[in-house]
Amino acid sequence: MGRFGNRWFAAWALAALLGACSPDTDDIADVVRPEADARPETEDAAVEADAEAEARTCSTSAECDDGVACTQDTCVAGGVCSNQPLDALCDSGQRCVPPTGCTSALCARDEDCRDDDFCDGDEECVAGGCYEGPARDCSDGNVCTEDRCDPALGRCVYTPLDLEGCDRDGGDVAAPFDPLVHYNGAFWLAPAQSQACGAVTYSIDTVNFMRSDTELRVTGPPCAGMVQSPPPSGPEFSVTCTSGCGTYSLQGTFSNADSFTGRWTASFSGCPTCSPQDAAVVGARR
């Protein structure tokens, strides 16, 4: 075989070898981001229970031992336990994920999987893998509006249609404000708010409004209920609660029965690893 033939044969052999050893890119994507219909039906109950648990009280750091070798267990100001995960205590390529400990899992909690795109739904961490959620449904059931999701704005947008029987606001009739209608039901919250700082762990993408004669209660982590008492009679609301070392507040104004704009704030006393939050948010009825 001539010199040219040798070179051709060597190049062909190398290409065949690389093709046999290289993983298919689709296979890699399936490992990192499995399809939604491949999602396991069971979730890591231990992680979920840990996220919902109230902070333990303490007088010394010895009382805060959580049995996880890679967490820094400390009794912080206010007499609550802080169990801060430290990846540095794990082997290279691993991360500290309580209560499991050091693991090579792709994620530890839902917020590790979030891509900050409101319109593609909420990604979830299940058994150490990220799974896509269903796309955001912005349908408001109103034939007088064009409904779409705007990823740049991070919310649903409803554009009035110039149709017979519809007014310029996109409705059949301008609906008056009704506290019992506006302040009841579940709303998407965008952008989602989350915190993971040892003593405090939560992720909020949905809030539930419930109005009674005595109070307005808005439920969703990290509190059993943020409350305004007496309840508001107009479109502006301000609910607050305290849980553990954190104080949380959601303030807003309803523009119609299906959406509000507002502000989420969170402050902490005695939890030095927790960062305060102050963010503009929007709510869209689910």
Q: Do residues 69 and 102 lie in contact, with contact meaning Cβ atoms separated by under 8 Å? A: yes
pLDDT at 169: 57
Residues 86 and 122 in one domain: yes
The CA-to-CA distance between both ends of the chain, in Å, stands at: 72
Could you tell me if residue 18 is inside a domain? Answer: no
Burial 207-226 (b: 16+ CB within 10 A, else e): bebebeeeebbbbbbbbeeb
Could you tell me if residue 19 is inside a domain? Answer: no
Final residue before a domain boundary, out of 131, 152, 187: 131
Could you tell me if residue 13 is inside a domain? Answer: no
**pLDDT (tens digit per residue) in 192-246:** 998 888 788 888 999 999 999 999 999 987 888 999 999 999 999 999 999 889 9
pLDDT at 49: 38
Highest mean pLDDT among 160-164, 202-206, 236-240, 269-273: 236-240
Could you tell me if residue 229 is inside a domain? Answer: yes
Residues 34 and 113 in one domain: yes
- Give CA–CA dist 129/113, Å, rounded: 9
Asked if residue 261 has pLDDT above 80, the reply is yes
Residue 145's domain spans which residues?
Answer: 137-174
Could you tell me if residue 106 is inside a domain? Answer: yes
pLDDT at 280: 93
Asked if residue 5 has pLDDT above 60, the reply is no
The pTM is what?
A: 0.44
Final residue before a domain boundary, out of 131, 148, 166: 131
Could you tell me if residue 251 is inside a domain? Answer: yes
pLDDT at 54: 54
pLDDT band, very low/low/confident/very high, at 23 (cuts 50, 70, 90)? very low
**Residue with the larger pLDDT of the pair 250 and 24:** 250
Q: Do residues 215 and 228 lie in contact, with contact meaning Cβ atoms separated by under 8 Å? A: yes
Final residue before a domain boundary, out of 131, 165, 196: 131
Residues 68 and 144 in one domain: no
Residues 199 and 254 in one domain: yes
CATH of residue 192's domain is 2.40.128
Nearest in space to 55 (alpha carbons), one of 161, 197, 258: 197
Residues 189 and 117 in one domain: no
Residues 62 and 38 in one domain: yes
Residue with tokens 């005595």: 214
pLDDT band, very low/low/confident/very high, at 168 (cuts 50, 70, 90)? low
User: Per-residue DSSP letters for 62-80?
Assistant: GGG--S-TTEEEEEETTTE
Residues 167 and 84 in one domain: no
pLDDT band, very low/low/confident/very high, at 272 (cuts 50, 70, 90)? confident
Residues 93 and 156 in one domain: no
Could you tell me if residue 9 is inside a domain? Answer: no
Residues 185 and 280 in one domain: yes
pLDDT at 177: 82
**Domain total in the chain:** 3
Could you tell me if residue 266 is inside a domain? Answer: yes
Across residues 12-37, what is the average pLDDT? 39
**pLDDT (tens digit per residue) in 30-87:** 333 444 344 444 344 344 434 434 568 999 999 999 999 999 999 998 899 999 989 8
**pLDDT (tens digit per residue) in 103-134:** 877 777 777 787 878 888 888 888 777 878 78
pLDDT band, very low/low/confident/very high, at 18 (cuts 50, 70, 90)? very low
Residues 88 and 186 in one domain: no
How many Å separate Cα 109 from the centre of its chain? 9
Residues 183 and 220 in one domain: yes
pLDDT at 125: 83
Residues 234 and 247 in one domain: yes
